Amino acid sequence: MKVYLDNAATTPLSDEVLQVMIPFMKENFGNPSAIHSFGRTTRAAIETARKQVAKALNCSPAEIFFTSSGTEANNMAIKCSVRDLGIKHVITSPIEHHCVSHTTDYLEENHLATIHLLRVNDKGQMDLQHLEELLSQINEPTLVSLMHANNEIGTMVDIEKLAEICSKHGALLHCDTVQTIGHYPFDLQKTKINFLSGSGHKFHGPKGAGFIYINADTKIKSFIHGGAQERNMRAGTENMYGIIGLGKAIEDAYAHFDEHKNHILSLKKYMITRLQESIEDIKFNGDISDNSLYTVLSVSFPPSDKNETLLFNLDINGIAASAGSACSSGADTGSHVLNAIKADPARKGIRFSFSRYTTKEEIDFVIEKLKTIVGSKETVAS
């Protein structure tokens, strides 16, 4: 048996998504910028995808721009805010994905903006009181860039509250929603956000296709220079099949939202209970309440000499999970997120992340393997 519990790193493409992509890999190949019928066919399909994304978020299709990835969308939001909107300060957190934190590092190193780090507690929750204090002290244009859900520990910020605070202080808000698109019911008519980002491969769409939402009142210019694609906002011939797949994937995610959420949440709770029953001194990193992201469970195993090889042993038993961040899977460089929440370095943090395709049998299989690898409660006690 092979069990894939690394869905926060990437999800498998769904069959439904693959089916809509295939014709655009072969017969519908026209360049969407071309005015002939070949181009018109692919242009129409891209515009359908844009409407699918806009419908899912309750915004206008004119506010959606396709990118190559969540990474590009996040770079664009932050760098273009500084370049085009006179932003002088960026408030961010120590637990952001590297595509945000390395971007803010770059701004700081090149004296392009002053970076302020928000306090987070030992569950990875953002200190919104601290945000209010910072925003009250700073008197120059400010961008707040905070992630909606942490990709390593699943802790979430109350995005509506965050938007309210930024609005009250006249700050722009960029939210890295790469982990929550498809897993959270956004309503951008109600929640005032300037930028958010998404990535198709996190919700059973293809890799290499992402998008940025830019609120209609927020006027930035292109990040990538070249042709007039994406209404002059993102040059480069479109990744058509990627975009078309992303559109179908987001539509499917929200068409079955409650069903998928209930299924995944029940499996996460089941795994928490089974771990607590089966393994001595098990702990969890981050927030595991119902306010956290239901696809992610970060488990903290007791100190042991087996820790170093835990992920490897899971892998040879057919189980894919991740240590720390998705993007550094396999490379044990230590997690900046677990460091920031002051997780015990002697304990091993493993992230298990679920999808709508995960089954209870798979969780049972993982628990049985963990019992043999790290020792079950009974064997530990004896």
- Cβ(174)–Cβ(220) below 8 Å: no
Give CA angle at 181 (106, 257), nearest 5°.
170
Which residue lies nearer to ligand PLP by CB, 14 or 41?
14
Stretch that binds ligand PLP, among 16-24, 66-74, 101-109, 183-191 (CB under 6 A): 66-74
If one asks whether residue 71 binds ligand PLP (CB under 6 A), the answer comes out as yes
Token representation of residue 222: 């292109």
Which residue lies nearer to ligand PLP by CB, 210 or 247?
210
- Please, which residues bridge with residue 285 across strands? 298
Token representation of residue 161: 């509250």
Among 7, 42, 69, 285, binds ligand PLP (CB under 6 A): 69
Among 112, 224, 327, 380, binds ligand PLP (CB under 6 A): 327
Contacts 24+ apart (CB under 8 A), 105-112: 107/78, 107/79, 107/82, 112/82
Which residue lies nearer to ligand PLP by CB, 209 or 370?
209
Which member of 80, 166, 175, 327 is catalytic? 327
Which residue lies nearer to ligand PLP by CB, 97 or 274?
97
Provide the mask over 101-120, with x wherever binding to ligand PLP is found by CB under 6 A and - wherever it is not.
--------------------
Provide the mask over 8-47, with x wherever binding to ligand PLP is found by CB under 6 A and - wherever it is not.
----------------------------------------
Q: Is 166 a catalytic residue?
A: no
Which residue lies nearer to ligand PLP by CB, 199 or 376?
199
Half-sphere exposure of 201 (CA within 13 A, CB side): 15
Beta carbon of residue 240, minimum distance to ligand PLP (angstroms, whole number): 17
If one asks whether residue 179 binds ligand PLP (CB under 6 A), the answer comes out as yes
Provide the mask over 72-91, with x wherever binding to ligand PLP is found by CB under 6 A and - wherever it is not.
--x-----------------
If one asks whether residue 67 binds ligand PLP (CB under 6 A), the answer comes out as no
Which residue lies nearer to ligand PLP by CB, 65 or 282?
65
If one asks whether residue 199 binds ligand PLP (CB under 6 A), the answer comes out as yes
If one asks whether residue 326 binds ligand PLP (CB under 6 A), the answer comes out as yes
Stretch that binds ligand PLP, among 63-71, 258-266, 316-324, 354-362 (CB under 6 A): 63-71
- Cβ(286)–Cβ(298) below 8 Å: yes
Beta carbon of residue 298, minimum distance to ligand PLP (angstroms, whole number): 13
- Cβ(156)–Cβ(287) below 8 Å: yes
Total residues found in the chain within this entry: 382
Give the whole-angstrom CA distance, residue 289 versus residue 146: 20
Cβ neighbours, 10 Å, residue 18: 17
Which residue lies nearer to ligand PLP by CB, 198 or 302?
198
Q: Where are the beta strands (DSSP E) in the chain?
A: 3-4, 64-67, 89-92, 114-117, 142-147, 172-176, 195-199, 210-214, 283-285, 296-301, 319-320, 348-353
- When CB distances to ligand PLP are compared, the closest residue is 70
Say how far residue 341 (Cα) sits from the centre of its chain: 19
Q: Which of 15, 17, 11 is nearest to 244 (CA)?
A: 17
Give the whole-angstrom CA distance, residue 266 versus residue 276: 15
* Chain contacts with ligand PLP (rule: CB under 6 A): 69-71, 74, 97, 99, 147, 151, 176, 178-179, 199, 210, 326-327
Annotated active-site positions, please?
Answer: 327
